[in-house]
Amino acid sequence: MDAFSFAISIESFNIINRKTVIIIALTVGIFHFMMPIIGSILGNTIKQLIHIDFGIITGAIFLYIAIEMIKEFRQNVSMPSLSILGVLALALSVSVDSFAVGFTLTNGLINTFLSAATFSIFSFTFTLIGLIIGKYISEKFGDISKVVGISIMIILAILSIVKS
C-alpha cells in the first residue's frame, strides 16, 4: 500500500509518460521480489551484527522527497522527469520494508519464493494503479493534486518513522 500511495503522490506532479509508468511499476515489482529474498538470506547475519531501523530510513527518504516536492510546488515549476537512478531510488524506498520482512521468512515455515512472488505481483499492480490514479487526479484537479501528493508523502514519512 505504501507503493500505491507513493505512486499517487509522485504522479500528482504529472511528470511520468506511459513508458516510464510501466518501468516504475516493473521496477517496484522486481524490488519487492528481490528484497524479501535478500532479507531472508542475510536476515540472521544482519540481526546478529547490527540493528537497522528500516522505518526511520524509509521515513527519511519519504520526507526528503516531500521536501523536494514542496520546493518544486513553491517555485511553480514542473518536477524533472525521473532518471533511471531516480526510478531505482523510488523502488528501493518503497521496498525496503520488504527486506525487513524477509528476516521473518528465515524460519523455514513460509515459502520465501512464493511470498516474494506474491509481494512482487501486488506491488506491481498497486504501483501501476496508483500512477494511473495520480495522473487522473493531476489532470482533474491541478495544483490541489500536488498538495495532496505532498501530504501523502509527509504522512508516509511520519507513519514509517512512528511504526519503527
Give 69-106 pLDDT, tens digit per residue: 777 777 765 555 567 887 888 788 778 777 767 766 65
* Site of grid cell 490514479: 133
For the chain, what is the domain count? 1
**Grid-cell match 511504526, residue found:** 163
Give dist(CA 30, CA 115) in Å, integer.
Answer: 13
Q: Is 76 left (phi over 0), alpha (psi -120 to 50) or beta?
A: left
**Mind listing the pLDDT tens digit for each residue in 115-156?**
889 989 999 999 899 888 888 887 888 777 778 777 887 887
134: its cell numbers = 495520480
Q: Which residues contact 4 (CB under 8 A, 6 or more apart)?
A: 126, 127, 129, 130
Quick check: 146 and 13 in contact, CB under 8 A? yes
Three cell numbers written together for 10? 509522485
Which residues constitute the domain of residue 157?
2-163
Q: Roughly what angle, to the nearest 10 degrees, separates helices 2-11 and 18-49?
A: 140
Which is more confident, 22 or 74?
22
Write the Ramachandran bin of 80: left for phi over 0, alpha for psi from -120 to 50, otherwise beta: beta
